[in-house]
């Protein structure tokens, strides 16, 4: 177990959430896409770093290095000339400003007197302009997490970027429809000191934002960035953690990564490796070593005209492949830089060789060719000559960083909680004013008005709902946290089903399916609505919920009707059930007259075997009782 306080863990959160406004932040396009709209594409080329910057931003430089074709996909309903950067931005969306200010007040934050829209350089193509528009709405404030106050630094309003669809060498595809959707960004001070606390803070922020009733829900509407550092390590920015539950794991793994890199630094020091020694290493073409190779991956590339280039890392042997946790090793760091900067597919290194069909004889020849002894490591890249050379240059730079410890950088979160190198951290010179828009004043009277009509917090909402529907606070909280309150209320209102039945299906059942590994996120609102309508009309039993939801999460394009047919869940007709009951009563007529209570339970046992999930047990019980007691009276 890592003692997070002892190692000086400090985490700051940046939570981004889309606002549910009618139109985008700087134009009148809707924030919801029109389904089945005809798509069109247009192409732009990545522009060079802007000269108006004065000093060159490292993150901008990183992107500008790549000559890339950018293909935007969109439709005429979701984008106008503003998104295409052919028209200046319209006035800032008042609805979005009001939501952001309301949220700011819920965070005890102080609104600004005047909104100044700024341009933040982003030139990876996710913005057609080469920058993202952003503005500070409020400063300061705090939230309370388990008795501890966590400060809020700023609350910003910004335009969402285009969504990346596909990326390959020299070409990247974006969905432009998302560009311009208003995003609120809540940044905390970096005072969070454990993975658990980070989770709780993010949870709290999410609940406060949702109290506005004006944030979007579902996949892709929330993005969580983490700033993480440990004593002696570096500030690492991790982008795009989608799920709340993943936050603690990302932090744990990042701590392990930083501690591992510090350990490697100390070991390299012990081995007296110097910066000059690494920098002066030549990059050597070793293709001939592999001229008769049995390695399929190398042979395939050589046939395509690739070369094998090698770099010796003096006295690095054993340190590149050394793993601190799955995927966390220096080799992954070296590969990350080479992939991101030179767009190579990856690296090979002697800590993992012989392997991949590369023989020990080839490794021996390789070492001989590049003059590497046992203590040295050799890194290989197989690619076009220039690209491989460039990739190894970055491996070299990253290897130098290993002598210093942890390089400060921006990393991207992956769904398993590990992260991958993305780009250098942006410099301070990244922002400059948006000259197309005048400052937007926020009168203090307006703020006073907003203060008077602040929405209820979700804790207050939970108490009200639990009272109204006779549900436990816990189940109401689960509905709130899974963002199913509106769906729940809609279903109860439309079907008159018991609230507890609907609530437990929407919480407990989904949780148990998720535990089984089913993709319950595939289920759509109309699935639930349709299911409960079928229950209300007596077509299927509420007990069928689990079966139906499981089937639909595997067949998300299908309907509840399809599920009922596929699973054979259609409730039998009343006549059919009555005939079955008559048959069973007849078979058990001795017991019926001797001990009707026992007879009922025997017959119920038979019926439930046949009708479980198809007919409500209570309905069956009523029918059987009526039949038996009716029968008895006649005898
Ligand atoms: Zn537009």
Task: Residue 296: give its domain's CATH number.
Answer: 3.30.1360.30
| Tens-digit pLDDT profile for residues 24-83 | 999 999 999 888 889 999 998 875 544 455 556 777 777 777 778 899 999 999 999 999
* 77 Cβ neighbours under 8 A, 6+ residues apart: 29, 30, 33, 34, 37
Q: Is residue 259 part of a domain?
A: no
Q: Is residue 377 part of a domain?
A: yes
User: Among 211-215, 330-334, 480-484, which stretch is predicted with the lowest mean pLDDT?
Assistant: 480-484
Q: Same domain, yes or no, for 95 and 150? A: yes
Mark 422-433 as b/e (b = at least 16 C-beta within 10 Å): bbbbbeeebeee
Q: Which of 530, 550, 567 is the last residue of a domain?
A: 567
Q: Same domain, yes or no, for 561 and 580? A: no
User: Among 182-191, 311-320, 411-420, 479-488, which stretch is predicted with the lowest mean pLDDT?
Assistant: 479-488
Q: Same domain, yes or no, for 18 and 45? A: yes
| Tens-digit pLDDT profile for residues 107-119 | 999 999 999 999 9
Q: Is residue 258 part of a domain?
A: no
Kindly tell me if the per-residue pLDDT of 632 is higher than 70. no
Q: What does the pLDDT read at residue 404?
A: 96
3-state DSSP helix/strand/coil % of the chain, to nearest 5: 45, 20, 35
Q: What does the radius of gyration of the chain's CA atoms come to, in whole angstroms?
A: 31
Kindly tell me if the per-residue pLDDT of 634 is higher than 60. no
The domain in which residue 474 lies consists of: 458-567
Average pLDDT value for residue range 442-457 = 95
27 C-alpha vs ligand 1 centroid, how far in Å? Answer: 5
Average pLDDT value for residue range 15-20 = 97
| Tens-digit pLDDT profile for residues 577-624 | 888 898 998 888 888 888 888 989 989 998 888 887 778 888 889 889
Q: Is residue 254 part of a domain?
A: no
Q: Same domain, yes or no, for 179 and 307? A: no
217 C-alpha vs ligand 1 centroid, how far in Å? Answer: 22
24 C-alpha vs ligand 1 centroid, how far in Å? Answer: 7
Q: What does the pLDDT read at residue 51?
A: 43
120 C-alpha vs ligand 1 centroid, how far in Å? Answer: 19
Q: Is residue 401 part of a domain?
A: yes
Q: Same domain, yes or no, for 465 and 322? A: no
Q: Which of 515, 548, 567 is the last residue of a domain?
A: 567
Q: What are the residues whose beta carbon lies below 5 Å from ligand 1 (ion)? A: 27, 29, 80, 82-83
Q: Is residue 428 part of a domain?
A: no
Q: Same domain, yes or no, for 49 and 97? A: yes
Q: Which residue has the tokens 């922020």?
A: 205
Q: Same domain, yes or no, for 504 and 597? A: no
564 C-alpha vs ligand 1 centroid, how far in Å? Answer: 43
43 C-alpha vs ligand 1 centroid, how far in Å? Answer: 18
Q: Same domain, yes or no, for 168 and 198? A: yes
Kindly tell me if the per-residue pLDDT of 261 is higher than 80. yes
Give me 399's structure tokens.
């290897």
* Number of domains the chain contains: 4
Q: Which of 551, 567, 583 is the last residue of a domain?
A: 567
pLDDT tier at 574 (50, 70, 90 boundaries)? confident
Q: Same domain, yes or no, for 562 and 580? A: no
User: Among 210-219, 247-256, 268-277, 605-614, which stretch is predicted with the lowest mean pLDDT?
Assistant: 605-614
Q: Same domain, yes or no, for 27 and 83? A: yes
| Tens-digit pLDDT profile for residues 320-335 | 999 999 999 999 999 9
| Tens-digit pLDDT profile for residues 491-548 | 999 999 999 999 999 999 999 999 999 999 899 999 999 999 999 988 888 888 999 9
Give 287-296's long-range contacts (Cβ < 8 A, gap of 24+). Answer: 289/362, 289/365, 289/366, 289/369, 290/358, 290/362, 293/357, 293/358, 293/362, 294/357, 294/359, 295/356, 295/357, 295/358, 295/362, 296/356, 296/357
Q: Same domain, yes or no, for 316 and 210? A: no
Q: How does the average pLDDT of the chain come out, rounded?
A: 92
76 C-alpha vs ligand 1 centroid, how far in Å? Answer: 9
Kindly tell me if the per-residue pLDDT of 300 is higher than 50. yes
Q: Is residue 399 part of a domain?
A: yes
Q: Is residue 290 part of a domain?
A: yes
Pairing of the two strands 114-115 and 222-229? unpaired
| Tens-digit pLDDT profile for residues 168-200 | 888 899 999 999 999 999 999 999 999 999 999
Q: Same domain, yes or no, for 536 and 581? A: no
């Amino acid at each position: 177990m890592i003692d997070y306080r002892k190692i000086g863990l400090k985490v700051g959160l940046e939570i981004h959430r889309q606002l549910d406004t009618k139109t985008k932040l700087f134009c009148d396009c809707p924030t919801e896409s029109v389904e089945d709209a005809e798509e069109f594409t247009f192409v732009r080329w990545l522009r060079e770093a802007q000269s108006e910057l004065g000093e060159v931003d490292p993150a901008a430089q990183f992107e500008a290095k790549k000559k890339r074709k950018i293909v935007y996909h969109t439709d005429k309903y979701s984008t106008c000339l503003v998104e295409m950067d052919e028209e200046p931005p319209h006035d800032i969306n008042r609805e979005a400003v009001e939501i952001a200010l309301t949220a700011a007040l819920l965070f005890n934050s102080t609104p600004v007197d005047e909104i100044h829209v700024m341009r933040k350089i982003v030139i990876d193509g996710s913005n057609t302009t080469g920058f993202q528009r952003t503005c500070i709405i409020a400063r300061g404030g705090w939230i309370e997490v388990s008795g501890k106050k966590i400060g809020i630094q700023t609350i910003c309003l910004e335009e969402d970027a285009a969504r990346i669809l596909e990326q390959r060498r020299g070409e990247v595809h974006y969905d432009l429809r998302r560009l311009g959707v208003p995003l609120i960004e809540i940044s905390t001070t970096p005072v969070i000191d454990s993975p658990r606390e980070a989770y709780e803070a993010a949870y709290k922020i999410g609940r406060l934002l949702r109290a506005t009733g004006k944030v979007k829900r579902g996949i892709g509407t929330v993005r969580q960035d983490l700033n993480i550092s440990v004593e002696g390590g570096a500030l690492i920015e991790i982008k795009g953690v989608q799920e709340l539950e993943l936050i603690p794991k990302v932090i744990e793994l990042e701590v392990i990564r930083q501690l591992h890199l510090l350990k490697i630094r100390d070991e390299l020091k012990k081995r007296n490796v110097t910066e000059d020694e690494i920098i002066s290493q030549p990059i050597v073409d070793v293709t001939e070593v592999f001229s008769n190779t049995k390695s399929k991956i190398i042979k395939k590339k050589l046939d395509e005209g690739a070369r094998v280039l090698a770099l010796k890392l003096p006295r690095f042997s054993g340190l590149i492949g050394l793993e601190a946790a799955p995927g966390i090793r220096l080799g992954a760091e070296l590969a990350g830089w080479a992939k991101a900067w030179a767009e190579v597919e990856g690296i090979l290194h002697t800590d993992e060789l012989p392997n991949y069909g590369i023989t020990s004889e080839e490794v021996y020849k390789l070492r001989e060719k590049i003059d590497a002894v046992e203590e040295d490591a050799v890194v290989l890249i197989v690619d076009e000559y220039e690209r491989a050379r460039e990739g190894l240059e970055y491996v070299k730079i990253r290897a130098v960083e290993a002598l210093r410890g942890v390089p400060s950088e921006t990393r991207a979160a992956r769904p398993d909680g590990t992260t991958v190198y993305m780009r250098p951290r942006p410099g301070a010179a990244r922002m400059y004013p948006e000259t197309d828009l005048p400052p937007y004043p926020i009168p203090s009277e307006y703020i006073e008005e907003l203060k008077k009509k602040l929405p209820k917090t979700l804790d207050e909402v939970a108490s009200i709902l639990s009272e109204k529907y006779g549900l436990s606070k816990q189940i109401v909280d689960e509905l709130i946290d899974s963002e199913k309150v509106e769906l729940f209320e809609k279903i109860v209102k439309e079907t008159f089903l018991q609230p507890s039945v609907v609530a437990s299906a929407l919480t407990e059942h989904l949780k148990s399916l998720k535990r089984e590994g089913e993709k319950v996120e595939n289920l759509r609102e109309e699935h639930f609505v349709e299911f409960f309508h079928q229950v209300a009309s007596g077509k299927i039993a509420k007990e069928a919920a689990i079966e139906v939801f499981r089937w639909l999460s595997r067949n998300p394009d299908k309907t509840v009707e399809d599920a009922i047919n596929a699973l054979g869940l259609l409730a039998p007709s009343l006549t059919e059930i009555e005939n079955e009951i008559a048959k069973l009563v007849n078979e058990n007529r001795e017991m019926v007259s001797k001990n009707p209570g026992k007879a009922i339970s025997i017959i119920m046992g038979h019926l439930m075997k046949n009708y479980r999930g198809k007919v409500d047990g209570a309905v069956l019980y009523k029918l059987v009782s009526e039949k038996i007691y009716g029968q008895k009276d006649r005898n």
